[in-house]
A and B are shown apart, each in its own frame.
Chain A
Amino acid sequence: MIDKNDKSKNADALIAELHEFRDEVITKYPKKVAKKRAKSIVLSDGDNPPQIQANVRTIPGIITQRGCTYAGCKGVVLGPTRDIINITHGPIGCGFYSWLTRRNQTKPVDDNDSNFIPYCFSTDMQDSNIVFGGEEKLKQAIREAYELFHPKAIAVFSTCPVGLIGDDVHRVARHMTEEIGNGINIFGFSCEGYRGVSQSAGHHIANNGLFKNLIGRDDEVRGQLKYRVNLLGEYNIGGDAFELERVFEKCGINLLASFSGNSTVQKFENAHTADLNMVMCHRSINYVAEMMETAFGIPWIKVQPIGAHSTAKMLRKIAQYFGEQELIDKVEEVIAEEMIEVQKVLEQARKRTVGKLAMLFVGGSRAHHYQDLFEELGMTTIAAGYEFGHRDDYEGRSVIPTIQIDADSRNIEEITVTQDEIRYRPRKTEEELKALEAEGMEFNEYHGIMKQMEKGTLVIDDLSHYEMDQLIAKYKPDVFCAGIKEKFCVQKMGIPLKQLHNYDVGGPYAGFQGAINFYKDIEMMVGAAIWKEIKAPWESEDYVEATFAY
Chain B
Amino acid sequence: MASDSSPANTHEGPSSPDDWATSPIGNTFSSPGDPRRPRRGRRSGYATPTPPPLPSDSRFATPDATPTPSASNSRRGRGRGRRLSSTPTAATPTSTDDAPPSSEAGDMDEDQSPPMYVWGTNISVQDVNAAILRFLRNFRENAQQIEGKYMRAINHVIEMEGDSLDVDAQDVFDYDSDLYTKMVRYPLEVLAIFDIVLMDMVSRINPLFEKHIQARIFNLKSSTSMRNLNPSDVEKMVSLKGMIIRCSSIIPEIREAVFRCLVCGYYSDPIVVDRGRINEPTICGKQECLSRNSMTLVHNRCRFADKQVVRLQEMPDDIPEGGTPHTVSLLMHDRLVDSGKPGDRVEVTGIYRAMSVRIGQTQRTVKSIFKTYIDCLHIKKTDKSRMHVEDLMETENRANWHDNESTPAYEDKVEQLKELSKQPDIYERLTKSLAPNIWELDDVKKGLLCQLFGGNALKLPSGASFRGDINILLVGDPGTSKSQLLQYIHKLSPRGIYTSGRGSSAVGLTAYVAKDPETGETVLESGALVLSDRGICCIDEFDKMSDNARSMLHEVMEQQTVSIAKAGIIASLNARTSVLACANPVGSRYNPRLSVIENIHLAPTLLSRFDLIYLILDKADEQTDRRLAKHIVALHFEDTDISQQDVIDLPTLTAYISYARKNIHPQLSDEAAEELTRGYVEMRRRGNFPGSGKKVITATPRQIESLIRLSEALARIRFSEVVEKGDVIEAFRLLEVAMQQSATDHSTGTIDMDLITTGVSASERMRRENLVSTTRSIIMEKMQLGGPSTRLLELLEEVKKQSPAAEIHLHDLRNALATLSTEGFVVVHGDSVKRV
The answer to whether A and B come from one shared complex is no
